[in-house]
Amino acid sequence: MKILVTGGCGFIGSNLVRYLLEEAGEGVEKIVNLDLLTYAGNPANLSDLENRDDYTFVQGDIGDTELVPRLLKEHEVDLVMNLAAESHVDRSIDSPEPFIQTNVTGTLRLLEAARHHVAERSGEAKDRFRFQHISTDEVYGSLDRDEPAFTEKTPFAPNSPYAASKASADFLVRAYHHTFGLATLTTNCSNNYGSFHFPEKLIPLIILNALEGRPLPIYGDGSNIRDWLYVGDHCRALWLVATRGRPGETYNIGGDSERTNIDIVRTICRLLDERRPRPGKGYESLIEFVKDRPGHDQRYAVDFSKLNAELGWSPTQTLESGLEKTVDWYLEHLDWCRDITNNNYQRQRLGTTP
């Protein structure tokens, strides 16, 4: 397959590009990575791939109605894997409009480009095309502690501008399948963690703050529950869905690892105590509870039994083994972290000096 990955310089996107090129096997002929390089898109994540013949990076917007059709045609794209999105809930509360522009309008224009691209193909090439939309479990809303996990049939009930924008995009993808016959696939995943995670998110934020001796902020009382999915397991699931999933279907991808936020933070502190001991008190002494954010969902949990039954997927990493890998990665890539926190990567992207 010749694959267009959108948002490939972000957290999940860069891990997916690496997975496709290094682990997916002979089914991948070429990757085209389209990324606008907003604040969370970091070309350094994939800088070591720049000279590969089977990888091309293009800086651009999924909403560009001239660029995207040209890329689809020029590279004879068989599969679009759409990860381009504004994804941070706090940012969506502060400024919702960019989330609508990227996640809704951008997805619409990408779907339109894909629809016309397929119309110009014929025979096996036409039948081979797939449009894969990567979404979130947050479209389902929030669960009480004793409620069953989200399934693909759970009604949408988004509670933040971010979640609402992703729900809108999910509906558009569904509509393009049912109205135009576009061979779409949608996945809704739980919270990812792993390498190249932008430091504003909980796990990398806690790791880096702890190493710098800064407060470890936790919303409310830390009782909010999330299901955590190691990014490598997520990438493996995405490729399975892309190559073996049924067009028009939605597949939930979960980590089978529900934990409260305070438990996550304490686990990270323990791992850092073992690997990089702090003089005096342990890292837990840095924990600081802060005012809860508006509309904070209490619990997410994802039932991935459909994915398991149809495609045989289940996570290979427990939360404990995945967090060990993640903490070790950050400890080994502190220069990457410093470039992010100092904004050096954005200065380099814009052609300016630090």
Token digits for 218? 């936790």
Angle, helices 334-341 vs 202-211, to 10°: value is 100
Distance CA(351)–CA(95), nearest Å, equals 27
In terms of Cα–Cα distance, which of 130, 122, 110 is closest to 36?
110
Is 137 catalytic? The answer is yes
Q: How many CA atoms lie within 13 A of 299 on its CB side?
A: 15
* Catalytic position from the list 78, 86, 138, 339: 138
138 is catalytic: yes
SS3 305: helix
Sign of the C-alpha dihedral computed for residues 9, 2, 244 and 187 taken in this order: positive
Residue 171, both tokens: 């509906």
List all residues 6 or more positions away from 70 whose beta carbon is below 8 Å from its beta carbon. none
For residue 52, the SS3 value is: coil
The 10 Å Cβ neighbour count of residue 308 is 15
Q: How far apart are CA 258 and CA 228, in angstroms?
A: 6
Separation CA 181–CA 222 (nearest Å): 45
- Distance, in Å, from the CA atom of 165 to the CA atom of 139, rounded to the nearest integer, reads 9
3-state helix, strand, coil in the chain (%, to 5): 45, 15, 35
* Rounded Cα–Cα distance for residues 68 and 66 (Å): 6
Q: Pick the catalytic residue: 137, 227, 256, 258? A: 137
**Could you give the count of Cα atoms lying within 13 Å of 192 in the half-sphere of its Cβ?**
27
Alpha helices by DSSP H, listed for 10-88, are 11-22, 67-74
Under a CB-based contact definition with an 8 Å cutoff, are residues 338 and 215 in contact? Answer: no
Please identify which of the residues 19, 55, 140, 162 carries the catalytic annotation.
162
- Token pair, residue 54, equals 């089977």
Q: Which residues participate in catalysis according to the annotation?
A: 137-138, 162
